[in-house]
Every structure is written in C-alpha cells, then in structure tokens.
Amino acid sequence: MTPSNVQPSADEVRHITVDGAYQVYTRRVGHGPIKLLLLHGGPGCTHEYFESFAEFLSPDEYTFYYYDQLGSFYSDQPDDTSLWTVERFREEVEQVRSALGLESFYLFGNSWGGMLGIEYALKYQSHLKGLIVSNMTASIASYTEYINELRGQMAPAQVAVMKAHEAAGTLDDPEYQELLTKLYNQHICRVVPWPEPVQRMFGHLAQSVYNTMQGPNEFLVTGNFKDWNRWEDLHRIHVPTLLSVGRHDTMRPADIEEMGRRMPNSRVSICEEGSHLSMWDDQDTYFTALKTFLSDVEAGHFTPPSE
C-alpha cells in the first residue's frame, strides 16, 4: 500500500476528498522543482483547455497540477446549487493544496480561476511563492462594463437583435447563437476553428455551476458572483504576481494595468494578438511571460516595473 503522504508520480491521476463528502480530480504532470496548481475558468469548465501548458513547460523544470473543481466534468457533480459560491470554492482550493502537500508553490488562475486565485491569496497567501492572474479583472462590474462596450462595436442592428432575445429569454435561438459565436471568435479564442481541447472543454461545461454563478453566457452576467469586487483589497496581496491579459480579451487591458499599479509586487503582460484564451491565440507571448516570471521569482530577482 502506498503511504498517503507520498506525492503521486508524473502524470498520475488522484482524486481528492473535499468537504468530507466529494471527490475532485487532479492530475500531476512533470517532475520539476517549480510547482504550479492550475485553476480553470468557467465556473464549471475543466482542465482540458490547459493542455497547451504541456507543450511549453518542460517536465524536468516544472510540476503542474490539473485540477477540476467540484461540479466539473471529471469531478463529482452534486445536485446542490448551494455549493456554487466563491467562498466555498476558495476553501476547496485550500483543501486541494493541503492534500497535495503544496507549499511555496505558484497558484495560477485563468478567468474565473483568476478571481478564485485572488480570493485564495487574500486569505492564504502564506502558502504561495507566487500568483498568476490570467485574463481576469478585479471586479465583475468592470468586466460587464467592458464586454458591453465590446458588443457595442457590432452593428447596431445586431446588438438590438441580441438584446431582444435576452429580454425574451430566447437565448437558444440560432440567430442569437450566431451573433454570440461571432463575439466569442473575436474575444474568447481567435483561433478558428477553436483548438480541439478548447472545444472539448466547452462540450464538458457544467451548466449548473456556470449558470448559478455566471449566468447564461459570457456577455450576460446574472449569477451570484455578479457583485464581486476586490479593487480595494488588491494592495493586500504582496507575493510576486503576474497579471496577464489579451489585447482582444473580454477583460479591459487598462483594468489589468491598474491592477498592476495597486498590487505592490506585480508585473503586467499584454498579449497583443491574444484574447481571453491567450494560451492558445498568442502562445509565444503568453508562455514567454509566464516562464520569465517563474524564472525571475525562482532566481530571487523578481522586480515590478518602475513607475
């Protein structure tokens, strides 16, 4: 029998008990000394769209953990919407960290995972060596304001059609879905057709989690995290932090730059060709910035840019 405190071998899948009742999926990739725990977006997505990381992070240098949050495709999916809250997911991350035995590690979060990373750092940053907030601003209000600006760049007749369907609740109408897909191809992932892991991830989206917390789609936020706002708390995060955004993102690049000014030990990377999934549509810029950040922190000479 393998002792419970032995770390899983490379590429080993391990299911971790959270809340004393449920199992969540983790998978260890690589065996290097630099350790990262990856928080996927959604809420309710999967780790699958992070498969690009294996192409850029050498297994000899890095160990990273895929992790599907509760409710997601590879983890338990309890039929209890009261579980889908920011606070409970934050505590779930801490349970996963503890079970994996991670200390002085890097927490990476993309989109909703970036929000979750901010929440985790505000409470548990003593465990962190660094934080990567990828494609996420500091409040949902900032996000919704900007995505409506982006939609406003469409033809007025198209915007009117989308709003009419939203008012009528006919979001499954092909007319609405066609316009939504157009926006997604500009601001979610600009590689068209979408890479297979991205398509697979969206095919596995946990609708209950997503609808409860986010709402019906990326451009209509009505879920229970709609009032989330951490602008005034960012100064409390003092671990080295990388803030990454795509120029064509659903997050306003100027907001991410402002986050960098408010966080005392942070660096901002803008993927000029990228959108919300810059790890796919501006890979060289995205992963160069990530690896440079990790290398600088590891070497002990990470410094934020001067004003």
Q: Do the domain assignments include residue 41?
A: yes
Instruction: Tell me how far apart the alpha carbons of residues 264 and 46 are, in angstroms, rounded to a whole number.
Output: 31
- Note the pLDDT tens digit of each residue in 95-118: 999 999 999 999 999 999 999 999
CA 177 from chain centre, in angstroms, equals 24
Does the pLDDT value for residue 128 go beyond 60?
A: yes
pLDDT at position 9 is 43
Q: Do the domain assignments include residue 178?
A: no
Q: Which residues are catalytic?
A: 111, 249, 276
We report the CATH number of the domain holding residue 106 as 3.40.50.1820
Q: Do the domain assignments include residue 80?
A: yes
Q: Do the domain assignments include residue 190?
A: no
- Of 129, 114, 123, 164, nearest in space to 239 by CA: 129
Count of C-beta atoms within a 10 Å radius of residue 154:
16
Q: Do the domain assignments include residue 158?
A: no
Instruction: Tell me how far apart the alpha carbons of residues 306 and 249 are, in angstroms, rounded to a whole number.
Output: 25
Domain hosting 88: range is 12-152+196-299
Q: Do the domain assignments include residue 304?
A: no
Domain tally, the chain: 1
pTM: 0.93
- Of 226, 207, 204, 238, nearest in space to 86 by CA: 226
Two tokens, residue 55: 């192409």
pLDDT at position 122 is 98
- Note the pLDDT tens digit of each residue in 255-304: 999 999 999 999 999 999 999 999 999 999 999 999 999 999 999 988 87
Instruction: Tell me how far apart the alpha carbons of residues 127 and 138 are, in angstroms, rounded to a whole number.
Output: 22
- Secondary element (H or E) of residue 256: helix 253-262
- Of 16, 17, 18, nearest in space to 26 by CA: 16
Q: For the stretch 9-21, what's the b/e string if a residue is b when 16 or more beta carbons lie within 10 angstroms of its beta carbon?
A: eeeeebbbebeee
Q: Do the domain assignments include residue 276?
A: yes
Q: Do the domain assignments include residue 4?
A: no
Does the pLDDT value for residue 2 go beyond 50?
A: no
